[in-house]
Amino acid sequence: MSPRPPALPAKLHPLVRGFLDTPGAAAAAVHRFGSPAHLLFPQVFADNLQRLQGVLDAQLRRYRICYAHKANRSRALLRRAEHAGIAVDAASPQELAAAVGAGFTADRIEVTGPKGETFLRQLVGSGVTVNVDNLWELHRIAELARGHTRVPVLLRVSGFPAAAVSRFGVPLAEVEAALTLLAEQRAWIAFRGFAFHLDSGELGERVAAVQECLALVERAYARELSPSVLDIGGGFRQVFTADADLFDGYVAALRESLRGRGEPMAWGGNTFGFHLDDTGVHGTPVFHKYANTVPATGMLADLLAAPLDAHGSRTVAQVVAENLLDVWLEPGKALVDHAGITVARVEFVKRAADGSVLVHVDLSRDTVTPADQEVMVDPLLLPGPGAPASGGDPVGVFFAGRLCLERDLITAHKVWLPYCPCPGDLVVFPNTAAYHMDLSAASASMHPLPPKLAVIHHDGGYRVCRDLDYEPAAGMAEADRALPGGRL
């Protein structure tokens, strides 16, 4: 018997697993709405939200979750967030319009990111909270706000010790100038508090940022400003892999193959961000996020329980409570984690000159991942009429996209499938909701963007509708809680 081929099994939410295990369910969806398609699971979003709320409820009395809409354009997920009563973080005029259209009122909307003149003019007087990125923005808000109601603002700060330099936020060294302006312009600007957002998974960096912001709160009090919010941003991680050991085993085999040992596993000289020299394979690969095993809830719990040196080792949760600060969070990927999959159809299978097997599907790389990243969970093959009745032999393949471009490989690393697919078989790309389906998606070669569909688990079965048509019905809240197979 040959050894088991390297594998990258994807973690699946029980609701998604249940849908994929329902014979014909995915096939019926693409038959009705077309292939390829993005499928979204609003109930998984609700489940992620409940688990984050569980962590927060255990440690904090006052908090607000702002769903970072930019993770996914789905209206269904936005409606689910609105229905759940949380707030939203919009990062463009279009996202703001979508949020308003989904029912969010101004008091539940925060706007982040870089904003130009036109957007600022729109925001002033609207009542939404502006998370200010820079001093130009703050000056412009003060000027534009004359004659309007006071503009609620948060001040985003950056440049914390030991953190990577960020293009966003007001550097700590400029906060003094910002506080002066906020104090002078208090008639027009209602200063709500400080904000940061870190991409890093490092607990220490977030703790340091919290500590800096708490010191800034003191400085703001000294100016007779009254900040009441500490916005800790997003950046809470996803867990993609179902088996960390298998993941590590795959990466070890890939590294060996890059050194020319064992079976070739990389398409066309790809090195995935590794650096190769005579001594071996070094550095951090582009796909390092797939190695994460700490869920968002764990990261959040660790942050809230972290002791603060400057506060006699009292925890973050204790110190914010003592200072009567509301903690705001802006999770994007943590809320949509496992809440989306992308389904494609196999068009044909061919062999390249070097013997590689290429499985061509009817979507392109940008439909399932930002181009610079490599998807390190195995696509799932849904057995169709052509599937071998008794197992079949594993085959190592590369997935190729529909664009007439050499680079349109969906996987540049080899994927082992349980059998060689046939035209018409369906392929599922797991966990694509967070930045995968929308961030780089383009209509290259005039291919239309895939439709978005919402999948709802109801009465023991699954219903599929257009993403735009999804409504969290009054009775759905109960169905949300009745998940098959328990919680993740």
Ligand X SMILES: *Cc1c(COP(=O)(O)O)cnc(C)c1O
Name which of 237 and 457 has its Cβ closer to ligand X: 237
330 touches ligand X by CB under 6 A: yes
Contact 186, 153 (CB under 8 A): no
CA distance 358 to 347: 11
Nearest-CA neighbor of 160 among 175, 143, 181? 175
Name which of 11 and 413 has its Cβ closer to ligand X: 11
Name which of 257 and 369 has its Cβ closer to ligand X: 369
Beta-carbon contacts of 10 under 8 Å, excluding residues fewer than 6 positions away, are: 240, 241, 242, 377, 378, 380, 430, 431
DSSP annotation of 485 reads: T
Contact flags string 93-132 toward ligand X, x per CB under 6 A:
-------------------xx-------------------
DSSP string, 277-298: ETTEEES--TTGGGG----HHH
Contact 457, 14 (CB under 8 A): no
366 touches ligand X by CB under 6 A: no
Tell me how long the chain is.
Answer: 488
The distance of closest approach from Cβ of residue 261 to ligand X in the complex, given in angstroms and rounded to an integer, is 36
Residue type, 319: V
The distance of closest approach from Cβ of residue 471 to ligand X in the complex, given in angstroms and rounded to an integer, is 25
Name which of 36 and 332 has its Cβ closer to ligand X: 332
133 touches ligand X by CB under 6 A: no
- Alpha carbon distance, N-terminus to C-terminus of the chain: 34
Size of the residue set binding ligand X (CB under 6 A): 16
H helix count then E strand count, the chain: 14, 20
Among 11, 14, 35, 89, binds ligand X (CB under 6 A): 89
Among 332, 340, 401, 472, binds ligand X (CB under 6 A): 332
Bridge partners for 455 per DSSP: 464
Among 68, 208, 213, 346, binds ligand X (CB under 6 A): 68
436 touches ligand X by CB under 6 A: no
201 touches ligand X by CB under 6 A: no
Candidate segments 14-22, 253-261, 329-337, 409-417, binder of ligand X by CB under 6 A:
329-337
71 touches ligand X by CB under 6 A: yes
What's the CA dihedral at 141, 142, 148, 154 to 10 degrees? 60
Q: Which helix (H) or strand (E) holds 405?
A: none
Contact flags string 222-241 toward ligand X, x per CB under 6 A:
-----------xxxx-----
Candidate segments 29-37, 312-320, 332-340, 465-473, binder of ligand X by CB under 6 A:
332-340
193 touches ligand X by CB under 6 A: no
Candidate segments 68-76, 134-142, 313-321, 408-416, binder of ligand X by CB under 6 A:
68-76
Task: State the Cα angle at 347 between 343 and 353, rounded to 5°.
Answer: 120
Runs of H (alpha helix) within 185-295: 203-222, 244-258
The distance of closest approach from Cβ of residue 438 to ligand X in the complex, given in angstroms and rounded to an integer, is 12
Beta-carbon contacts of 61 under 8 Å, excluding residues fewer than 6 positions away, are: 321
333 touches ligand X by CB under 6 A: yes
The distance of closest approach from Cβ of residue 439 to ligand X in the complex, given in angstroms and rounded to an integer, is 10
Bridge partners for 452 per DSSP: 38
70 touches ligand X by CB under 6 A: yes
The distance of closest approach from Cβ of residue 110 to ligand X in the complex, given in angstroms and rounded to an integer, is 9
The tokens for 43 are: 């109930």
The distance of closest approach from Cβ of residue 406 to ligand X in the complex, given in angstroms and rounded to an integer, is 31
197 touches ligand X by CB under 6 A: yes
* Interface residue list for ligand X (CB under 6 A): 68, 70-71, 89, 112-113, 197, 233-236, 330-334
